[in-house]
Structure 1
């Protein structure tokens, strides 16, 4: 899908191009300017999973970005949508989203909307769902460890893919393979069957725990606990739709307070998920 060579917004001439890894220094500069904590390495990760548009002005300053991620043949996530403050009210975000939507091939769509972009996505027919809470901070306490968990090993990966597919309602094999390579993992195994898993990897100012998929909130707490303990005294982040219960209580007790929210939004069919495999934490906001 081609994009037009220039875009005139009032007095600004914008030059759009398809993102490449060579753009990472400028993309990192853009995300820092709006207060996002992504490192250059985090941009490299999302570029492995998707594709997008990068906007710069006539003298090469970064002005905007938008990406889409083909999770499967029937579902795409949208994310990494940034416009500089001077362009937010001039239609740059909508123009980028229209370009991205044209590439998604009729897939069902989902995203996690910041407050600044919420009205734009409503105008593009996305329906709002639950809020996602960004819980983060320096780990201040070591949670109780459960004897039901064990470290993940390579032979667990097939079961992890199956569990994740049931939890998300689609097989996002490529994304999970990448996160498995980047992460340490914990699982719960009952009677020889993996019933829960969690991953922890380097991200932003420290580490992020996610995804966490489990049958119950108690299991989610047990799966997160080894990662939280390992990072005692360090910065940790967990993105979750949960607002109460033992999982949230453990995060609060360990210093991971709710700092901000985004809103899950979708367009298309409702995903059918296995109620015994619940998503307690996202991998990240871009890919869910």
Structure 2
């Protein structure tokens, strides 16, 4: 792209669903493995901004998703490589902070994005380890007595949303029904009570396992059983799992044949999520939707 573009006047406007194709082109330019359908699903649930150059080309995007009245997550935060180092990312982030900054804001920041987020007051709360692959050998994981895996039923939705909200510290009551429309699910049941679950859905080049919600245990056996279920059912398919460092699943996932391919910082502004300490979200829905 010619150097004259460095002199382009960048304008910012509301992101619309008509911008999804341009946003998908941006993800391709930075080697993200999203499908246009993945972006459309996320964009339909969120609000944000597009940065546009003097020719009307979308050269940057940033969206936010509201979870109840107290929190929002930030994602689809991309600037075209040809327009980076011009303050466009700062312009997008500042607009989101101005619009949603009365809430707790959460973001997954790349190495390039961490300094900007720190300058705006975000602090690190964890590191996300991204695992993906297709040549895996899932083991059979035993559950404690009285616990079993069963299919998710139509009447489970309120309980699933409650578990996801408690485990993440975010209000997931609006997101879970949307996810269940596009995902398959397996429930963790203890003597007739639903105590955890894992969803499996199309994403990028293959599928993603997440969210994975389960009670915490010293050996993470419940989370491992939920993840292994989907791996065993989809042997040979390309699968992705994004897991927080603090839960210690990375070595186990690598041993199954899902190598660690990336890490990204989990950061927060205006507080941190207040999650139920008896539950854990062992894998993300996505880096945008947490």
Normalising to structure 2: TM-score of the pair? 0.91
Of 264, 267, 289, which residue of structure 2 is paired with 1:265?
A: 267
CA distance, structure 2, for counterparts of residue 76 and residue 263 of structure 1: 17
Of 77, 81, 86, which residue of structure 1 is paired with 2:77?
A: 81
Is 1:225 equivalent to 2:220 in the alignment? no
Give 1:165 shift. 1.4
Q: Does structure 1 conserve the Cα–Cα contact (< 8 Å) formed by 2:128 and 2:265?
A: yes
Of 5, 12, 16, which residue of structure 1 is paired with 2:8?
A: 12
Give 1:61 shift. 3.0
Aligned counterpart, 2:210: 210
Q: Does structure 1 conserve the Cα–Cα contact (< 8 Å) formed by 2:157 and 2:176?
A: no
Q: Does structure 1 conserve the Cα–Cα contact (< 8 Å) formed by 2:162 and 2:172?
A: no
Give 1:238 shift. 0.4
Aligned counterpart, 2:188: 188
Aligned counterpart, 2:164: 164
Give 1:249 shift. 4.6
CA distance, structure 1, for counterparts of residue 59 and residue 213 of structure 2: 36
SS at match of 1:111: strand
Of 221, 238, 250, which residue of structure 1 is paired with 2:241?
A: 238
Aligned counterpart, 1:6: none
CA distance, structure 2, for counterparts of residue 256 and residue 244 of structure 1: 16
SS at match of 2:10: strand
Give 1:164 shift. 1.0
Give 1:278 shift. 0.6
Residue by residue over 1:102-126, the C-alpha shift from the partner in whole angstroms, topping out at 9 and shown as x without a partner, is: 1116111111111111100000000
SS at match of 1:133: strand
RMSD, matched Cα: 1.8
Aligned counterpart, 2:255: 253
Of 109, 114, 129, which residue of structure 2 is paired with 1:113?
A: 109
- Going from structure 1 to structure 2, the CA distance change for 1:138 and 1:243 (only over 3 Å counts) comes to farther
Alignment of 1:149-160 (within 5 A): 149-160=149-160
Give 1:150 shift. 1.5
Give 1:143 shift. 2.9
Residue by residue over 1:71-128, the C-alpha shift from the partner in whole angstroms, topping out at 9 and shown as x without a partner, is: 1110011111111223321111011111111111611111111111110000000011
Of 95, 99, 106, which residue of structure 1 is paired with 2:95?
A: 99
SS at match of 2:27: helix
